[in-house]
Amino acid sequence: MAGEAKQGIIDGRAISKQIEAELTEEIASMKADDGMVPGLATILVGQDPASQLYVRLKHKACDRVGIYAEDQKLDASITQKELLDRIKNLNTRADIHGILLQLPLPQHLDAKKAMQAIDPAKDVDGFHPYNVGNLMIGDEGFVPCTPAGIIRALEYYDVDIEGKDVVIVGHSNVVGKPMAAMLLNRNATVAVCHVYTKDLKSYTAGADILVVAAGVKHLIKEDMVKKGAVVFDAGITEEEGKIYGDVDFENVVNKASLITPVPGGVGPMTIATLLTHVTFAAKKIE
Ligand SMILES: Nc1nc(=O)c2c([nH]1)NC[C@@H]1CN(c3ccc(C(=O)N[C@@H](CCC(=O)O)C(=O)O)cc3)C=[N+]21
């Protein structure tokens, strides 16, 4: 339905399936033509169950499209130097095109310094200051996967961004801040709210596009959303084996024109974007 705005629930799994199908084909022809296999190394420090799950999801996705994925598991007691040495070793390896350091890290490790040790050309998460700087000046190379996946979904559903009032809830380096930059680059009017915002509802209720990444279960209720808004929920809170988003979906779904569920929304799109970045990194490096 080109040019016609779609309505309803944004199916992150369907979008990611389509992206994966395109990548599978592309990677197969890279292999056939040049014998090249894109490679991703993930580094997981410690035993956090959520982090273990996310890394597992990423590896399974790599397997589906034909990306070589290497799982480096490090003990929680590893020193900063040992971690940096691991990263530096991966920087030199020709078979590894993307390096993903799973966050959060144990308290005694300096995540910023570790991110800066990753070769910017292999920084498929888009967290290195070099790539963050490029994003800020409108050169979107490697950008963080969650906001990039949200842009992808906006394009998929033909949602105009230019001139729209966008509100982002959450000002993390991983979602909120890069999301703001990406939407500014596309000429939206952007407000970024966070824990210190005085009157959250006064912002969210005016949003044409609302992106929520605060990590607070069901923070956004129906009265905080404008009728016809497009709503993205990047929150994940796990309680007793159930996953909740930052948006009270059952309440908001009838007010929004488009909305992502949790699970099955932003999460799968994040992973599909990571696969795209690894494939892109391999093509660029070779
Ligand atoms: N360096 C780094 N890069 C990341 O990209 C990164 C990270 N650290 N740390 C943690 C967050 C979290 N994250 C998710 C990705 C996919 C789902 C996902 O696909 N979730 C499924 C549900 C899976 C389930 O919990 O059963 C869904 O929403 O449908 C969730 C979370 C990536 N992260």
Q: Are residues 104 and 150 in the same domain?
A: no
- Which amino acids are annotated as binding site for NADP(+), given as ranges? 170-172, 236
- ipTM reported for the complex, 2 dp: 0.91
Of 69, 92, 126, which one is at a domain's C-terminal end?
126
Residue 178 sits in a domain whose CATH number is: 3.40.50.720
Task: Find the 199 Cα to ligand 1 centroid distance in Å.
Answer: 29
The reply to whether 46 and 157 lie within a common domain is no
Residue 109's pLDDT is: 98
The pLDDT value recorded for residue 4 is 45
Mapping DSSP to helix (H, G, I), strand (E, B) and coil, where does residue 269 land? helix
- Do the domain assignments include residue 134? no
Q: What is the rounded distance in angstroms from the CA atom of residue 265 to the CA atom of residue 280?
A: 23
Mean pLDDT (10-residue bins), the chain, 286 residues: 62 97 98 97 96 97 98 98 98 98 97 98 98 98 98 96 98 98 98 98 98 98 98 96 96 97 98 98 92
Residue 195: inside a domain: yes
Shared domain check, 153 and 263: yes
Statement to judge: residues 162 and 235 lie in one domain = yes
Nearest CA to ligand 1 atom 18: 267
pLDDT at 285: 86
pLDDT, position 5? 46
200 close to ligand 1 (CB < 6 Angstrom): no
User: What DSSP character marks residue 104?
Assistant: P
Q: Are residues 152 and 259 in the same domain?
A: yes
Ligand 1 centroid – CA 241 distance (Å): 15
| pLDDT at residue 170 in the model | 98
Host domain of residue 61: 35-126
Do residues 159 and 233 share a domain? yes
What CATH number is associated with residue 92? 3.40.50.10860
Does residue 165 sit within a domain? yes
Q: Give me Rg for the CA atoms of the chain.
A: 19
pLDDT at 286: 79
160 falls within a domain:
yes
Give the H or E element holding residue 88: helix 80-92
Q: Say whether 58 is catalytic.
A: yes
In a domain, 220, yes or no: yes
What single DSSP character describes residue 223? G
8, part of any domain:
no
**Count of Cβ atoms closer than 10 Å to residue 190 Cβ:** 19
85 and 155 co-located in one domain: no
Residues 112 and 204 reside in one and the same domain? no
Number of domains in the chain: 2
The whole model's pTM is what? 0.95
The answer to whether residue 112 sits within a structural domain is: yes
Give pLDDT tens digits for 28-75: 999 999 999 999 999 999 999 999 999 999 999 999 999 999 999 999
- The answer to the question of residue 58 being in a domain is yes
Ligand 1 pocket check for 101: Cβ under 6 Å: yes
**Are residues 226 and 169 part of one domain?**
yes
